[in-house]
Chain A
Amino acid sequence: MTSVFDDAGNNIACTVIEAGPCVITQVKTSDSNDGYDAVQLGYGEAKEKRTSNALLSHFANAKTTPKRKVVEFRDFDFAALTAEGEKALGSVIEVNEVFAEGDVVSVIGTSKGKGFQGVVKRHGFKGVNDATHGQHNRQRAPGSIGAASYPAKVFKGMRMAGRMGGDRVKMQGLEVIRIFPEKNLLLVKGAIPGHKGGFIIIEK
């Protein structure tokens, strides 16, 4: 993350995203056996010896090199891209072809792993508020998890302590502050899920 001043002089915290170049690796259409419309994009270079034979020929069909990440987009405005120029298998999509400054996007990523966390951090419980009045060791305790002989069990989905983070998280309503097409960089207002260098999906 970094920060940038806008024209009004406000200091805006923002995240730098390298968004592309993405390569079209597959096009699915509802007319064919696929049964639905989608575009598959590949991003990042992968080592050839680390790529399975099945994927190698998949990339070879798209006339491109092996990619690290392959993601399918269902509502991709493929028509708009094909209208401008011939966009087919193996062709490269740059950031400025999809995004413009001022766009509102949502970002999907995997949140940072937090490990085994208690109920206060994980579910926002308040704990026991009192430190006095006979309370001891209970400031971050979950409290009751149910009644007694009826129902005589703890209901499924009861919020308790456990592994936190590492989930798929979608951040919505992030504004694109600036685009640097020469390096395929996006400057997005606010924070996004995940650690530095993590892979994300940007939706418009």
Chain B
Amino acid sequence: MDAIKYIQEQVSKEQNYPDFRPGDNVVISYKIVEGAKERIQAYRGDVIQINSLGATKTFTVRKISNGVGVERIFPFASPAIVELKVLKRGKVRRAKLYYLRDLVGKKARIKEKKRAMVVKS
């Protein structure tokens, strides 16, 4: 275990994402390679889970695209994530929002959390 931790410390890149939680609405700028070209695509949705720890930590973002639910799993350590922005803080009561998969339309919304933002001076 000690050895795995050591390697993760050596290999993993600096992560400076803003603090986000399940229920938050985020937009991710993601690098996509098409042949020789590289472009950046934005993916916006709700975080429905944060899974695992360490170098294999991932989060899942769900959105409704053309009436179809789309979920995408991003590793925290992925070098393809250029930027992550939190647009809305969600008010949710559990860590894994799998119940959203069974809901459509207005019921599938997440209430926005009204809370004071902590600003570092």
Contact = CB atoms under 8 A, between A and B. Distances in A.
Interface in A171-187: 178, 180, 183, 185, 187
A81 B12 CA distance: 34
Contacts of B33: 9
Interface stretch (B61-69, B71-79, B103-111): B71-79
B86 interface: no
A16 interface: yes
A53 B110 CA distance: 71
B36 interface: no
B4 interface: yes
Contact of B55 (A4, A18, A178, A180): A4
B78 A11 contact: yes
Contacts of B6: 180, 183, 185
Interface string A1-30: 011110001010000101000000000000
Given A9-B33, A183-B3, A185-B3, A178 B11 contact: yes
A3 B11 CA distance: 10
Say which size band chain A's interface belongs to: 10 to 19
A9 B30 CA distance: 12
Given A2-B55, A2-B56, A4-B55, A185 B7 contact: yes
B75 A11 contact: yes
A9 B55 CA distance: 14
A18 B3 contact: yes
Given A2-B54, A11-B75, A16 B80 contact: no
Interface in A147-192: 178, 180, 183, 185, 187
Interface centre among B3, B8, B80 (most CB of A within 10 A): B3
Q: Which 10 residue pairs of A and B lie closest in terms of their CB atoms, listed nearest first?
A: A16-B4, A16-B3, A2-B55, A4-B11, A2-B4, A3-B56, A9-B80, A5-B79, A9-B79, A185-B3
20 contacts: A2-B54, A3-B56, A3-B77, A4-B11, A5-B75, A5-B78, A5-B79, A9-B31, A9-B78, A11-B75, A16-B4, A16-B7, A178-B7, A178-B11, A180-B6, A180-B7, A183-B6, A185-B3, A185-B6, A185-B7
Interface of A: 2-5, 9, 11, 16, 18, 178, 180, 183, 185, 187
